[in-house]
Structure formats: C-alpha cells, structure tokens
Amino acid sequence: MDPLTPAEITRRAFLGKVSQGLGAVALASLMRPSMLGAAQSRGVLKNLPLPQKAKRVIWLTMAGGPSHLETFDPKPKLAEMDGKPMPESLTKGQQLAQLQGKPLNCFGPQHLFAKFGKSQIEICALLPQIGSVIDDICLIRSMTTDAINHDPAHMFMNTGSQIAGRPSMGAWVTYGLGSESEELPGFVVLTSLGKGGQNQPIAARQWSSGFLPSKFQGVQLRAKGDPVLYLTNPPGISKERQHGDVDAINALNRRRDALTGDPEIATRIAQYEMAFKMQASVPDLMDVSAEGAKTLELYGCQPGDGSFASNCLLARRLAERGVRFIQLYHKDWDHHGGVKEGIAQKAQEIDRACMALITDLKQRGLFDDTLIVWAGEFGRTPMSQGGSGRDHHNKAMSVWMSGAGIKGGIVYGASDDLGYAAVENVTTVHDLHATMLHQLGIQHESFSFKFQGLDAKLSGVEGAKVIKDILA
Amino acid sequence: MKKSLFLCVLTAGVTRAAELPLPAKIEFNRDVRPILSDNCFFCHGNDPKHREAKLRLDVREEAVKSEAFVPGKADASELVKRIFSTDKDEQMPPPDSQKKLTARQREILKKWIAQGAEYQGHWAYENPVKAAVPAGQNGVDVLVQKRLAEIGLKPSAEADRRTLIRRLYTDLIGLPPKPEEVAQFVADQSPDAYAKLVERVLASPHYGERMAIGWLDVVRFADTIGYHSDNPRNVWPYRDWVIKSFNDNKRFDRFTIEQIAGDLMPGANQETRVGSAFNRLLLSTEEGGAQAKDYEVRMLTDRVRAVGAAWMGQTTGCGQCHDHKFDPWTQRDFYSMGAFFADIKEPILGRREDGITVLDAEQEKKLADIGGQLAALQADIVKPHPELAASQAAWEKTALDAIASGSAWQTLKPISATSSKKNLTLKADKDGVVRAAIDGKRDARNQNDGTETYTITAKVVAGVTGFRIEALKEKSAGVGLASNGNFVLSEIAITEGKKSAIQIGHASATFEQTGFAAAAAVDGVADKKDNGWSVLGGTGADQALFLELAEPLDDADAVLTFKLTFARGENHEIASLRLSATTAPKPVRAPNVSLPAKDIVDVLKVAPEKRTAAQKQKLEAAFKQLAPELSDLRAKIANAEKEKADFEKAAPKCIVSIHSDAPRTVRILPRGNWMDESGEVVKAALPHYLPQKKIEGREPTRLDLAEWLVSRDNPLTARTVMNRLWKQFFGTGLSKVLDDLGAQGEPPPNPALLDWLACEFADSGWDVKHMVRVIVTSATYRQISTATKEQLAADPYNRELARQSPFRLDAELVRDNALAISGLLAPKIGGPSAKPYQPEDYWDNLNFPRRIYPADTGEAQYRRGLYTWWQRSFLHPSMVAFDAPSREESCAERNRSNIPQQALVLLNDPTYVEASRTFAARILGECKGDTAARIRWAWQQVLQRDPDAAEQKMIAALLNERLSAYRQEEKSADALLKVGLAPAPAALDKVELAAWTHVARVLLNLHETITRS
C-alpha cells in the first residue's frame, strides 16, 4: 500500500498546470489508465461537458497545399478570366509567397468538375470515388489560415500557433481523453509520399506533445524498417529471451520499489510491460495479410506498399484498436508548376482510398463515432505561377469532414467567384479545431493547459467558434 | 481495494490545502496576486486594449479610484459583492470566462480588503534582499532550516557516502563514479572528505559538459536551422565555448556579455566572437516563397523570447501582438528590445554564411606553418632569376609569332552554354567568354563530386581545320575551380547536329601537367578521375588546348555542340573558357608557350629597349608563370596553396554576431502583423518597468543590454539563473515555474532563500562555481531522498526541502552512463557534433536536399550525449524518448516523462545493445572470479554497491538459462555479438559473452541505473 501515496502525483511536473475542473480521479486515471473502467474517459477530462459524438479522429493531411480550384471548389468565372489580369482590388497589399511582386494573371481551373450524389455537389471529375460518398461528406469551401509557407502553416494547422513548442492537436486530444488502447499509443502518425516529386519536408514537431507530457506525443508508424522506432528485438534475441529480460528488469525494479517507495518505479515497470506488449501488438496491427482480397481491392493497395491507401487501411485498423487520434500525411501537393498533371496524379493516389476508408468504417459500424477530416495546410492561388502552376494561398481553401455527427452531403461556406478569398461563412483553423473538440465532447474554451503564464488552448486566444451549422 | 484506497488518499492530498486556515496576515504577493493575476488581470490588468469597464486591478490607486473596493471595508466593496454573487450577470469572474474562484480564494480577497488591501510590488521586480547569515554557516541551510522550523518540519539525515558520491558525480559531471572512487570516499575518515571530493569534481573537465546541457537548452543550441529544409549551419564552436566557459569558471556577467555583445566588447577576440554566436541560434528558413519581412519579424521575436527566457525569467512572446496581460511588459518593450539586435548582419532568408574560422592553439600553429612554407616558396619565385634571361628572350620571340598567327583564330560566340549540375551555372558574355559560377551550397553540402559536363553550342563557318579551347586566368585563384586552381578536362567531344562526332586528328596544349597530356582529352575515355588534360604548374596563366580536325568541316553555318566532361570531382572544372576556330591549313598545333594575356601582349609589342621598368617587371613575372625551368617550383606553390585552402576549408567555422552600421528599421507591428507598416518606429530601449541603465548622448547598444542584464540593479537575472541552477540539484526550482518569474509564475515558498542565492551570486562576482559549491556542500543537498509518510503528507512535492528528491537522468546522461560503464565512452571534450547509430530512414521526411544519416565510426561514435547532432526537426529518437527538447524554442524546463519508448530504447537501440555486450566483455575480461564474484563486480560497476542475495539469485538464474540456450544456438550468440561497430574480443567464449550480455543489459535497464537519488 505504501507506494500508493500522494507522492504518486509529485512525479507529474504538470500537476497544478491542468485547467480547472479536473478532479483527482481524472489525474489518477491519467497515471494509471488500467485503474478505471472503460466507461470513463482515460484522460484529464473525466466528465465530458458535451455529448461525445466522436470517439476518435482520423485526420488526412494533404501536405503541400492542395489546390481547391482543381479539387473541391468549381470556378467557371475563373475559367472565363483565364489569362487576364487578376482584379487588383482583390490582390492589392496582400500576402503572397513566390508570386510576391510578380504579374498576377488568372489561371483557369485545369480540370472539369462534375456533380455527384443525391446532393449533387460539384467536385473535380477526377474524384468520382469521393463523389460516390459525397452524401456522407461536409465540404467546407471557406477555410482560411494565417500562414503561407509550408512549415509555419503545418504548425498552425496542427497546433493553432505558428511558434514551435505547442502541442499538436493529436496530443491535446489524447491528453484530454486518453487512449482506449492499452497496447498502442493514443496518437499515431503515418506518412506517405506522392509520385510527383514535390514531397515537402515535414518536421517531427508537427506531432510533438509540446509542453504537454511526452507520453502524448504522436508515435510514427513507419512503412519501412521498424514500424515503431526500436520496436524489434536486437539480432539474436528471441521473443522469449526478450520477455525473460523484461521480467528480470521488472523483478529487480520491484525489489527496489519495496525499498525506496519511489512511485516512478511502479510507472517504469508498467512502461516495460507496455513496451513488450507493443512489440507484439504493433506487428500484428501492421500485418494486413489477413484482411482479404476484397478489402485490399476496396482500398486499392498491396500489403506493405507504403501508399496512402495502405495507410488508410491501417487507419481503420488503428481505429478498431481504440487509438484516439490517427493522422495521415500524404505529401506532394505543392504544385507551383504542372498543377494539371499533379492533381491528376494525386487524384489517382487518394480518390479510391478516401472512399474506401469511409465505406469500410461504415460497414464496420465505426463511421458514426469516427471523425474524418481532410485538409491541407493552405490552398492555392487562382493566379498562375509560371504558366502551369499555382502559388501558396491562405485566403481560401477547401477542407472536408465526415462521420461522427457531421452533416453529410452539404457544402458550407463559399469563396468569391475567382476562388481568391472566402466570403461566405468564413472559417478559421481555430474554428476547425473548436468543432473537432466539440464533437469529441470537449468544450474548447475551457480545455487549457497553463504554459508561460497563460491558459494555452488548442483553439487559440482570439476566440474560435464551433461551426454549428454543419453538425447533425 | 487497492484502487479505492489510492483514490481516497489522493483526494485527501489534493484537498489538504483547502483545509488550512487563512493566514493571520494576508500578504499580497504570496496570497492575493496569484488569484488576481489568474482570474482578473486578463480583463482588468496591464493591457489597455483588453481592459473591461475601464477598471484595472493591478494598480492600487486605479482600483481605489474606480471604487472596486474600499480598503478596510470588505462589506462595502464592490469586488467582494461581485465575487460572492450568485447572479450570473453580476458574478465575477463572469461565468463565460471559464474562470472560477474557490471558496478559499474568495475568503482571502475579502480578508485582504478588510485588512486594508495593501499592495506589494511584484516580488521578482523588487531588488532581492540578502538575509543575514551567521558567519561560517551555509546560507542555504540557515534559510531552509528557518523555514522548516516555521512550518514544523525537520530536515532529514545525511545520505550515505555511496549515494552522496553518485549524486555529486551525476549532478556535477554527469558520469558515474568508478567503484574505486566510491570505496576511497567511503574510507576517507578526514573531516573534509566531502569538501575535497566536491573540489575534485568541480575541477574535472567534464564539469563544463554537465553544466552546458541546461544552458544549451535555454539558448536553443542546435546544429540545424529549424524551419522547412532544416539544413545544417556552423555553430558547434559555440557549444564548446559554453563548455569551456563553465570549466574556466568564466564569471557569469562576462559569460552574458560575450554572448549578447561579444563582437562589440572592447578587446573583442575570437573567443568573445564565438560567444556572440548566441545571437545567431534562432530559427531560419530556406523555403522558397518565404518573405523577408515576415522572417525578419520571426527572427526579432525569436531573439526577444530567448533573452526573456534565458536571463530575465519573463514570458515576453505576447508582446509581439499586445501588451502583457499580467505583467508590466508592453508591446513597446517587446519591439524596443528587438531593436537591440537590428544591427546584426545576417541573411534573413536562405543559407547562413560559413561564419568565422575558429582555431585552437594547435590549429593556429599549423596554419602559421603552412602559411610560412607558402610565403617562402612565393619569395623564391618572386626573387630575381637572372638564369632565365635567355629562355625569356626565346619565349618572347615565340610568343610574338604566336600572337601574329593568333589572328587566324576566330572567337566562337556560344548560342548556349549549360552545365549538367544545378549547383554550377555557365554564362557566356558578348565576347564569347563562358564563365562558371558555383553555388555556395556546393562545397558546404559536399556536392562537388561526380562528373560535370559543359555543353556549349556555337555556329562555325565552312572550312574549319581546328579548334582552340582557352582556359582563361581571370580573377579566380587559377584557371580551374579546384582549390589549387587546377582543372582536369577528361574529355572533349564535338558533334554537329545529329551527325556523328567530328573526328579530331591531333591534340596539343600550351602546357601539360605530367601524366595529364592534351591527348588524354580526346582518347574517348571520359569517366576516369585520373585521365584528362590538366595544367598543375601552369594554373597561374592562360592555357589552351588545340584540336586539329581529321578532315576540314565543309558545312557552312554548321551549329556544333562542344561537350566538355570533367570527371575528376572536387571542383576540377575550368573557371572561364573561350572557344575559337581556325581555317588555317594544317598543322594546327599549340605554340610551345602559354598564350599571353592581353596586357602582356601589349607589353610584348613594345620594342624591348622602349619598355619601362614596370613593363619589364610585368613581363618577367609573366614569364615566371610559364618558364619550364620553374615548373617544379610553381607546382610546389600550387600544392602549398591547396594545402592552405584545404586547411582553411576544413577548419571549424562558426556563425557569429557582426555589427552593421545600418541597422534594420524596427516598428511596433499592430497585432503582430508584419504587413502592417503603420506602427511607430522604435529604437533600442530597456524594459520600461525595470531599473534603467544610464546611457547619455548615444543610442543604446547590445553591449548596454548585456551589461544591464548583469547589473546589480537588475532584479531578475540572478534570481532566474539561481532558480534554474537549483533545479539541477533538487529536481524542482525554488519557484517551480522556471521560465516565468512574473505574475503568472509561482512566488517561491521560500523567497528569502532565492533572494539570498541571487545576492550571494552577484556579491561573489557572478562566480558560478562558488554557487554550485555553496549548494552542494549544504546539509540540505546532502539529505537522503527517501521520504517518510509524514513528509509525504505535509509536503508531497518536496517544496520545503526537508529531504532530497530522486529523479531520472537527463537524456544525454542516460547515454553517457551506459557508455561509461561499458568502457566505450570517448572522453574527448568538444569538437564537431557526433552522429550515433540512428534507425535507417528516420530522416525520410526531410527534403531539400534529401538527407542520409551517416552514423559516425571510431571515436566519434562513442561521444557523450551532449555532442549528439542536434537536428531540430528530427532530433535523434533516443534523445527524444528521454525528453531532450528540439531546441526550436528556449527550454528552461524539460519534461521528465516515463514512457514505453524509453524501455524500447534501452532494450533495443544498438547503442545500448553494444554497450551491454562490451560491458559483458569487461565483466569476463576484468573480473577473474566465479559467477557470484562477477555478478558482484558488475553490480559495483553499475551501481557501486553489492547485489543482495535475492538479486544475486535472480541474475544467476537468468545467466544460467541464457548459457544453456546459447549453447544450443550459437548463431544467435554470433548475431547478438555483431551489434555495433566495436569488435567482440576473440579470446572470449561467445556463448558466455552472449549470456553475460543479458546480465549487462538487465543492469543497464534498471530504474536505479538511470536514476539519481
């Protein structure tokens, strides 16, 4: 009994930094997930103030900045204006990236659009599979962001701040709600490369836990090598010997615990057990060979091909196993040139996989409590760059959400006739975060962590709003 | 049962504080300010833009004037009414603010107003007052014990000697003591045994390494730029400067000034300049499309935040957009501090420059030697050479003939000139000269290797019989781009349209390096490094290759393509070249002399007797660059120049602060928006709310800022630094919020102690070693770290210091400890950052350029953790697992987590597997006893204690099981023993070694092993 004393809490440097309303029980659950029943949240938020529509999130990050004008935002007017100068009233004094100070001419959409589903929503004709599930999707055409270069824009989309050191949304959510898996991390990240060669770098800070405890950091699952870093036993060490060593370590640690009563020792023992479990559960997770030809065909992937489609399938498997936040990065959307060919290539890579993910979650009964978000870090200019491409753009972009109490088959918000700026129901990244937290049962204004004297929040200090109109 | 008890105890622990009676006398700083700051100042504080109802509660006069309260009359006070109100429209804080006062907090405010609502200046902005300490006593102990007596706690006993020496080694040098050192200390009966030990450890060169870790965190030291491509930059000499500064016990005021203004100090030298690299440690970008003004602001804000965190213990970042809501720090203060750094010369976007060359004494001597040899050789060639008179006269004649026939050559004007590599560009001018320019990144990224091909197209007239390719000595070091001025033309091929290659009948040159004749450029071999035409010994003058065609060209206006291949690498390309064609009848041969440059031709044309002395001298000098008699000497000079250039290139470099007389303009940016230029321009100024430095008749500089930070009048710096130092020795700061001594931080439970340390620090002349000594020799430091039940109940977080605290080693030290025990550790201090084994493809997400990670070999593989290559966007995963920060932002307080990734690292990272097997080899090689003795020996190495009987038994059982298992499968033993680069001693039985590797592995994984207690 002795080790279970109030000193248990001393090891948490963040104690006293947690926001109001978190009781001792919630803290206990954070430290010892197994001590509480599954019915309760395993994070710091014990009693969720809102109904929990989403139990988990699958966030599809289209890294590089997809052009909304060739994917989800049809602009016939822009086609008419092709080659003509952009109206200066729109662009004067505005922030541009590589086009700063260059002539600004309209560049018509490079692909045809078509109407899909009962809702007859118009999206790029190269995305017929997404079109086939469009009635399950809420398309937001009025998203905006603050940043205009890849790195800061990813930081903003992931953490709500352009300054490094803030927790990523996956860390926030796992911190708040804990993980439902005892054998896998609560926040998992997968990346895939595109075939177009515009694979912008992505820093590990994008899935960092920032000032939150490190246990909430995203764990990257890799297609090559160890799926989780250092997961595999050293050469020559069998599973049995590994188990034996872990048992010996834990037995010796238990003796030490009895002597010193240092509560960190009990935690360390639990972590070795968890690590050993992960050594079995992660390979099991990654092994999709039991999925059957039908499923592989649905996603359009081959086991171990490292594709976006493969990662979508893994996302479903992670969702089944209780992982709280699953973030996929698919790269190569940075079409400064050749947007036409680039988008055609990207459509091939993601169209079927996105449809498959929604379909598969539905057929397994997971769709209704899984929130899916599809978003890049910014949109692209209606102006041409170099005659065949588009520059970074933060005044308008398209994102979509699906599942977990989000209305399907609707379009929310609009950009102007040329797709330059969001003009109707303008939304921000903070709004997107607030809405996501809302669906998870979390009140975004009061979900905070004391950092540098401030109640730091994912949804920022500027005032974010839940996008109520898109909630079922 | 266990669960319910746990919860109940926990709840008791949390509610205990609420049951304490209110203090008899409410103290503003301790009791009231934290409540107001957390709940009220956001709307009623320092920031006017956010102020509601024009009420501010942070200034007493204002609050009284607004009738927020009536001092002494709680019941008549609006504030009291509002905080006790249940009416949602009246209630303060308003329900939608998500803030809520506890019952106790309400009572405190009420009582405080009833007692007269006295304010105090914020504790950290008041000058620290030094409590009197009886002579001969340790101030730390006096003040800790005073406080303990007040709250009814007793200090703990002194820890045993083994624990003390382990603690001291970890805290001061970050390495475990050897069993002999422990035994010696345990046996030392002299009264000053501990004091002697402290002095010995303080004098260790590893002390600086240990102390550097925390400082490198707050100044965000890293090897890479951070944003986007996260490319490398040259900064490691700064890390060594930090280590050396601690080892030399450089006074902290000097340490500060060198970092912020090392370039502006009187007597600035290499050392102070390297210190000033601090100003360059921020994040920067090479991303295309980044706007300079955007990043100029990012850099300014980055610097202000870093100075705020490292020295002032102030959270300054909010000032980018608005005044601080809780502290007096304003937006103007923010940009005014940023303006101190506006004079630093630096590229806002793109690659950082190489920086200054940083040499140690040995390297300086070496460079002087090389320079001396070069100077001697140069003197040799410059001196009069009367023996050359005859051959010079002959040359003059030949040269004049060559000039005469030169008119038969027509310069070809290139239609296009392209290179095969992106980092070398060709440009033709109107006179037909094609010049190569190398991208600065080429050498820095070691991309100067492999084959380069120049492709030049030009139109020729009919009847061409030969071509000439001149390599021109223009401004560069030689005719070639290599560091010795040379090039190697591996092959030249000429084609006309799609027709087959034009046959070359003969090749000759004005100069040929031995073994690199002109003919080798037309032998059809284009891909050998050592095959081609080259001119070492003649790199100081124009040289030319003459190609005689097998058949004259008959097409008029043919467009030819000249493909020049350079396969040597290391920049062995021609710097500037010119193509010419001739229609003169065969033979087309090179004159036996290099072609004189135009200015020489002009002199040659003057009749010898009419030449001026200067002209004669010029001619002589030109001839010395050609004379066959001096060919050896010239080659020696070229080699010496190459040696010097190579040395300088390889020498350590560091980006440092360089002052510009034209500083950038700094404006206050409304809402932090860099595109809004309507804000007022500000000059450098110190924060308005702190004591100022007298600066008259001139603009303040970085030097002023630095001196002000470490002046006696600055109440923040000494407290901030001592607070952080305390954490190194007790696990928690005296004020637990290390990066914020402001209103939102924590008033220290023992303010007198922090103040005493701050005063003593300044009084001692900012003597860091003195302060470390004071702390570690205190009885407070030497207490045991296990807690009694009473202590846990009364002080669960050990804030009152009635005991020591156990905590896990920092990431770097986890590594150091394992390497030291295994015997692999390289004890070398300083040097380039090292690359320990890292999982393959861990850098896959990096791009521009794609990165591979070449793990170091030899000694560099076994460096201490603090030398690990610090890649900001993908820090080494073993470091990340143990909470090392990415150092993108200043980090005063690392997390101290306990996560499964730590187990995976210690079990499976090849670094630790290799450490286990080399430690096993030590056990078998160095301890000749039986199994029990060996287990004891191993325990001593790792934990410096004997195993108890149960531990012995457990480990012996494990060992026996492993022995029999590996006897059955020797292949597994082989595989295990191959992990890592260190060879396994052939003399040892591999089954035994593999089995003992498991013993070693278990030991290195123990909680006790990675914990300082």
CATH number at residue B477: 2.60.120
Please tell me the predicted confidence (pLDDT) of residue B499: 67
pLDDT confidence of B326, banded at 50, 70, 90? confident
Question: Residue B744 is encoded by which pair of tokens?
Answer: 């939102």
Query: Which residue of chain A is at minimal alpha-carbon distance from B947?
Result: A252
Co-location of A191 and A126 in the same domain: yes
The alpha-carbon gap from A24 to the nearest alpha carbon of chain B, in Å, equals 6
pLDDT over 80 at B9, yes or no = no
A241 to chain B: which residues are within 8 Å by CB?
962, 965, 998
Q: Is residue B977 part of a domain?
A: yes
Contact B1002 A224 (CB under 8 A): no
Residue finishing a domain among B549, B572, B596: B596
Judgement on whether residues A250 and A219 belong to the same structural domain of the protein: no
- Minimal C-alpha gap between B719 and chain A (Å): 17
Structural domain contains residue B783: no
- Locate the chain A residue with the closest alpha carbon to B890: A165
Interatomic CA distance for residues A427 and B939, integer angstroms: 62
Q: Residue A32's pLDDT is what?
A: 37
Does residue B17 register a pLDDT over 80?
no
Per-residue pLDDT reduced to its tens digit, B426-436: 999 998 999 99
Taking an 8 Å cut-off on Cβ atoms, the answer to whether A204 and B886 are in contact is: yes
A230 and B839 within 8 Å at the Cβ level: the answer is: yes
Identify whether B624 is part of a domain. Answer: no
Do B247 and B208 touch, CB atoms closer than 8 A? yes
Judge if B426 and B526 occupy the same domain.
Answer: yes
Q: Does A461 touch chain B (CB under 8 A)?
A: no
Residue A169, pLDDT score: 96
SS (H, E, C) chain A: CCCCCHHHHHHCCCCCCECCCCCHHHHHHHHCHHHCCCCCCCCCCCCCCCCCCCCEEEEEEECCCCCHHHCCCCCHHHHHCCCCECCHHHHCCCCCCCCCCCCCEECCCCCCEEEECCCCEEEECCCHHHHHCHHHEEEEEEECCCCCCHHHHHHHHHHCCCCCCCCCHHHHHHHHHCCCCCCCCCEEEEEECCCCCCCCCCCHHHHCCCCCCHHHCCEEECCCCCCCCCCCCCCCCCHHHHHHHHHHHHHHHHHHHHHHCCHHHHHHHHHHHHHHHHHHHHHHHHCHHHHCHHHHHHHCCCCCCCCHHHHHHHHHHHHHCCCCEEEEEECCCCCCCCHHHHHHHHHHHHHHHHHHHHHHHHHCCCHHHEEEEEEECCEECCECECCCECCEECCCEEEEEECCCECCCEEECEECCCCCCEEECCECHHHHHHHHHHHCCCCHHHCEEEECCEEEECCCCCCCCCCHHHEC
Task: Provide the residue type at A330 as one letter.
Answer: H
Instruction: Indicate if B336 and B428 belong to the same structural domain.
Output: no
Query: In this model, does residue B704 exceed pLDDT 90?
Result: yes
A326 and A382 in a common domain: yes
A204 Cβ under 8 Å from any chain B Cβ: yes
| Residue A268 domain flag | yes
Q: A212 and A249 share a domain?
A: no
**Chain B residues near residue A233 by CB distance under 8 angstroms:** 907-908
Domain final residue, candidates B596, B629, B644: B596
A146 touches chain B (CB under 8 A): no
- Taking an 8 Å cut-off on Cβ atoms, the answer to whether B883 and A215 are in contact is no
Q: How far apart are CA B705 and CA B338, in angstroms?
A: 11
How many CB pairs (< 8 A) connect A and B?
Answer: 284
In B, which residues are within 8 Å of A222 by CB distance? 841, 844
CA distances from A394 to A166, A389, B259, B554 (A): 21, 16, 38, 61
- Looking at the structure, tell me whether residues A217 and A77 fall in a common domain: yes
pLDDT digits (tens, 9 = 90+) for B654-675: 999 999 999 999 999 998 888 8
Of A291, A313, A330, the position where a domain reaches its end is A291
Which pLDDT belongs to residue B402? Answer: 72
Q: What is the pLDDT of residue B406?
A: 64
Say yes or no: B442 and B549 in one domain. Answer: yes
Q: Which of A201, A253, A279 sits opposite B228 (nearest CB)?
A: A201
CATH number of the CATH domain containing A190: 3.40.720.10
Which residues in chain B touch residue A6, judged by CB atoms under 8 angstroms apart? 9-10, 12-13, 792-793, 796
Mean pLDDT of chain B: 91
pLDDT higher than 70, residue B393: yes
Same domain, A144 and A276: no
Residue A61 belongs to a domain: yes
- Tell me if B877 and A231 make a contact (CB, 8 A cut-off): no
Interface residue of B160, B1007, B1010 to substitute, partner A, most A CBs within 10 Å: B1007
Classify residue A213: in a domain, yes or no.
Answer: yes
In this model, does residue B214 exceed pLDDT 70?
yes
Q: Residue A32: inside a domain, yes or no?
A: no
| Chain A interface disruption, residue of B3, B96, B98, B739, most A CBs within 10 A | B98
| Domain with B955 in it | 810-881+898-1013
Tokens 């040995």 correspond to B362
User: What pLDDT, in 10s, does the model give residues B869-913?
Assistant: 999 999 999 999 999 999 999 999 888 888 899 999 999 999 999
- Residue A49, pLDDT score: 83
Same domain, A118 and A81: yes
Say yes or no to pLDDT of B731 above 80: yes
Q: Average of pLDDT values for A131-137?
A: 97
Chain B residues inside the 8 Å CB shell of A196: none
Q: Which of A92, A192, A200, A249 to mutate to test the interface with B (most CBs of B within 10 A)?
A: A249
Q: What is the pLDDT of residues B795-833, one digit of tens each?
A: 888 999 999 999 999 999 999 999 999 999 999 999 999
* Residue of chain A whose Cα is closest to the Cα of B95: A446
Q: Please list the residues that pair with A189 across neighbouring strands.
A: A220, A327
Q: Are residues B575 and B687 in the same domain?
A: no
Residue A143 phi/psi, 5-degree rounding, is -80, 145
Same domain for B420 and B341: no
Please check whether residues A413 and A450 belong to one and the same domain.
yes
Domains: count for chain B: 4
In a domain, B77, yes or no: yes
Which residues in chain A are contacts of B796 at CB distance < 8 A? 5-7, 9-10
- Tell me whether residue B676 is in a domain: yes
From chain B, the residues in CB contact with A260 under 8 A are: 786, 806, 1013
* B938 within a domain of the structure (yes/no): yes
Domain boundary among the residues A242, A268, A291 is at A291
Residue A202 has its nearest CB partner, among B840, B845, B961, at: B845
At A182, the pLDDT band (50, 70, 90 cuts) reads confident
pLDDT in tens, A388-406: 999 999 999 999 999 999 9
Does the beta-carbon distance from B796 to A245 stay under 8 Å? no
Distance CA A274, CA A267 (A): 10
Please give the residue that has the higher pLDDT: either A142 or A89: A142
Task: Give the one of B7, B291, B848 whose C-beta lies nearest to A25's C-beta.
Answer: B7
* Chain B environment of A185 (Cβ under 8 Å): 900
Q: Is A52 on the interface with B (CB under 8 A)?
A: no
How far is C-alpha B371 from the chain's CA centre? 31
Q: B902 contacts in A (CB within 8 Å)?
A: 271
The pair of three-digit structure tokens given for residue A451, joined into one six-digit string: 């950092």
Of B10, B896, B973, the CB nearest to A6: B10
Say which range, A74-83, A459-468, B975-984, has the weakest mean pLDDT.
A459-468
Considering only CB atoms, which chain A residues are within 8 Å of B905?
A: 230
Compute the nearest-CA separation of A78 from chain B (Å).
24
- Domain assignment present for B566: yes
Answer whether A230 sits within 8 Å of B904, measured CB to CB: yes
| Residue A242 to residue B744, Cβ atoms within 8 A | no
A120 CA: distance to closest CA in chain B (Å)? 37
Select from B675, B893, B976 the Cβ nearest to the Cβ of A95: B675
Q: Which residues of A touch B288 (CB under 8 A)?
A: 97-98
Q: Which of A268, A332, A377, A393 to mutate to test the interface with B (most CBs of B within 10 A)?
A: A268
Predicted local distance difference test score (pLDDT) of residue B289: 82
Q: Are residues A321 and A286 both part of a single domain?
A: no
Whether residue A325 is found in the same domain as residue A274:
no
Residue that wins the pLDDT comparison between A223 and A246: A246
* Residue B591 and residue B674 in one domain: no
> Which chain A residues are closer than 8 Å to B876 by Cβ?
none
Q: Please identify, among A263, A291, A319, the residue that sits at the C-terminal boundary of a domain.
A: A291
- Asked if residue B562 and residue B429 are part of one domain, the reply reads yes
Query: Quick check: is A50 in a domain?
Result: no
Q: What is the pTM of this model?
A: 0.81
Q: Is A39 contained in some domain?
A: no
Both B348 and B413 in one domain: the answer is no
Residues B851 and B968 in one domain: yes
The answer, yes or no, to whether residue A30 has pLDDT greater than 50, is no
Q: Is some CB atom of chain B closer than 8 A to the CB atom of A232?
A: yes
A452 falls in which pLDDT band (50, 70, 90)? confident
Q: How many domains does chain A have?
A: 2
Q: Which residues contact A27 (CB under 8 A, 6 or more apart)?
A: A9, A12, A15, A18, A44, B10
Q: What is the pLDDT of residue B328?
A: 86
- Tell me the per-residue pLDDT of B107-159, one tens digit each, with 9 for 90 and over: 999 999 999 998 988 889 989 999 999 999 999 999 999 999 988 899 999 99
Q: Is residue B733 part of a domain?
A: no
B949 class by beta-carbon count within 10 Å (0-12 exposed, 13-18 middle, 19+ buried): exposed
Higher pLDDT, A91 or A119: A119
Q: Is residue A361 part of a domain?
A: yes
Is the same domain home to B437 and B570? yes
Over range B767-787, report the average pLDDT. 97
Residues B479/B539, Cβ–Cβ less than 8 Å: yes
**Domain check: are A112 and A249 in the same one?**
no
Q: Write out pLDDT tens, residues B360-389.
A: 999 999 999 999 999 999 999 999 999 999
In a domain, A186, yes or no: yes
Which of B294, B792, B1008 has its CB closest to that of A6? B792
A387 and A283 in a common domain: no
Percentage of chain B beyond pLDDT 70 is 97
Structure tokens belonging to residue B943: 């934990």
Q: Which domain holds residue A70?
A: 56-223+305-470
Residue B575 shares a structural domain with residue B461: yes
pLDDT of residue B15: 37
Domain shared by B443 and B553, yes or no? yes
Of the three residues B691, B712, B733, the one that is the final residue of a domain is B712
Backbone angles phi, psi at A432, to 5 degrees: -60, -45
In angstroms, the CA A293 to CA A298 distance is 8
Among B14, B287, B797, beta carbon nearest to A151: B287
Residue B427: both structure tokens together: 């440009």
| Residue A11 clears pLDDT 50, i.e. is over it | no
pLDDT above 80 for A1: no
pLDDT confidence of B592, banded at 50, 70, 90?
Answer: low
